[in-house]
Amino acid sequence: MKKEQFILALDQGTTSSRALVVNHAGEVVAVSQLEFRQIYPKPGWVEHDPMEIWSTQSATEAQALGKADLRHKDFAAIGITNQRETTVVWDKKTSKPIYNAIVWQDRRTANYCAKLKDQGLEQKFRDKTGLLLDPYFSGTKLRWILENVEGAREKAEAGDLLFGTVDSWLVWKLTDGEVHITDATNASRTLLYNIHEQKWDEEILEILDIPKAMLPEVKGSSEVYGHSTKGVPIAGIAGDQHAALFGQACFERGMAKNTYGTGCFLLMNTGEKAIRSENNLLTTIAWRIGDKTEYALEGSVFMGGAVVQWLRDEMQLVNSAEECSELASQVPDAGGMYLVPAFAGLGAPHWDPYARGACVGMTRGTNRKHYCRAALESIAFQSADLAECMTKDSGIEMKELRVDGGASRSVPLMQFQSDLLGVDVVRPENVETTAMGAAYLAGLAVGFWESKEDIKSRQAEGARFQTERSKDEMGKLTDGWKRAVERAKNWEINDEES
């Protein structure tokens, strides 16, 4: 009898590295997690030490194997999912990074992005990459390293430097410098990849002055890229939000998932068609498997679960997220109050960096329960705004919303989200959807799971929230939300002008 095999999923996130052991039934049998340093050299700058990313990731792998009492020979494949857009440049000969990883949150290239916009180049970038000209993405971070690290430009021109997002860096280290690749999902977040022609874009590389020799080979999201030094096939890669979409089995056109973390990331599978957004959403590759590429529309909420952290840490109205949910459930509504958490401006579809937080509609009877309720409702309102944009862009009516992330545990939030959208909100039993997506992609590549149907059969529903309130009632609340958002917009710029 053949000994049972497993999949190792490496989940390299923004604040921690994790490793999960997954069995054939799609169950997580062991988890290990280690946090690493966040480095802030200047206001608006965010960095990680690539060697620390690697050391924590390899340590969690060893710990997870120890917890499960397994050896590397017990694994059919390794899958990787990662924080997206974070940029690493290393020396090809020594495998040593020449600078810290510049994190997706970093804003140091904002002025350069503004300069490119002033040159009328944003539409060109949007048409080719599906992305906005923003410091969020990898391309301008890579250019900054070449321009600002001594000797980097010369070494890159000589073919001695390599660039990669975190997935590429991990594969390089796992294979001891044998394999320099990325997958289509991570490539599609660099601002350098033509998502329609499926290749690095020569014209964009010329504009940003980036040598093509630095770039990894772009592979599918589910194939064997090489073997780790321990002999295990590395067989699946996807950026974290794409992996969560796959982990939620959103395999059909129109299926959508929302991850409720610090921010919220709503992705809708648009099938084999890349839909250009008219509502400031991003067009991105969902995954590429074999010769088939599927696309997604993506919208981001800057302040999701972070609103609850604000209530806890700054306002000190609650001691935990659980207490916030409990208090919110004790009132039927927010008593006419709206909280617009534009603490760092507004993301899609507004993209207003001058918006600031606003709380409107308070009365003498407003109390902390109403604040908790309004905070949770603000997360749902922002997500509903994205869903509305996706429907307009795609012409696809959302049938249900699959959810994951820490704040998806809040019953009043999930219920209100269902009422707002008028569709069922479904939370899986296993909320490790990001790591599961990486595991499934790797398992598919090596025949550990036979097909998407096989994966779908392993999805267990944890909770389903169905619409309880009328469309008219929710329409009135949405109108109030939109009025509140208008009051939050342009706040800082108006203040400066006065």
Name the binding residues: 14-16, 18, 84-85, 136, 240-241, 262, 305, 309, 406
The answer to whether residues 427 and 340 touch, using CB atoms and an 8 Å cutoff, is no
CA 273 to chain centre: 21
The answer to whether residues 468 and 331 touch, using CB atoms and an 8 Å cutoff, is no
CB under 8 Å to 37, separation ≥6 — which residues? Answer: 48, 49, 52
Nearest Cα to Cα of residue 401 among 298, 259, 305, 194: 259
The answer to whether residues 393 and 385 touch, using CB atoms and an 8 Å cutoff, is no
Feature table: binding site for sn-glycerol 3-phosphate? 14, 84-85, 136, 240
Give the Å distances, CA to CA, from 317 to 309, 340, 367: 10, 17, 10
How far apart CA 374 and CA 199 sit, in angstroms, is: 45
Scored b (16 or more CB within 10 A) or e, 2-13 reads: eeebbbbbbbbb
Q: Which residue has the tokens 């329609």?
A: 196
Pairing between β-strand 88-91 and β-strand 161-164 as defined by DSSP bridges = antiparallel
Nearest Cα to Cα of residue 184 among 169, 171, 204, 167: 167
Feature table: binding site for ATP? 14-16, 262, 305, 309, 406
Feature table: binding site for ADP? 14, 18, 262, 305, 406
Token readout for 389 is 């944009």
Q: At what angle do helices 368-394 and 306-313 cross, to 10 degrees?
A: 160
Feature table: binding site for glycerol? 84-85, 136, 240-241
Nearest Cα to Cα of residue 261 among 407, 379, 141, 139: 407
How far apart CA 371 and CA 360 sit, in angstroms, is: 11
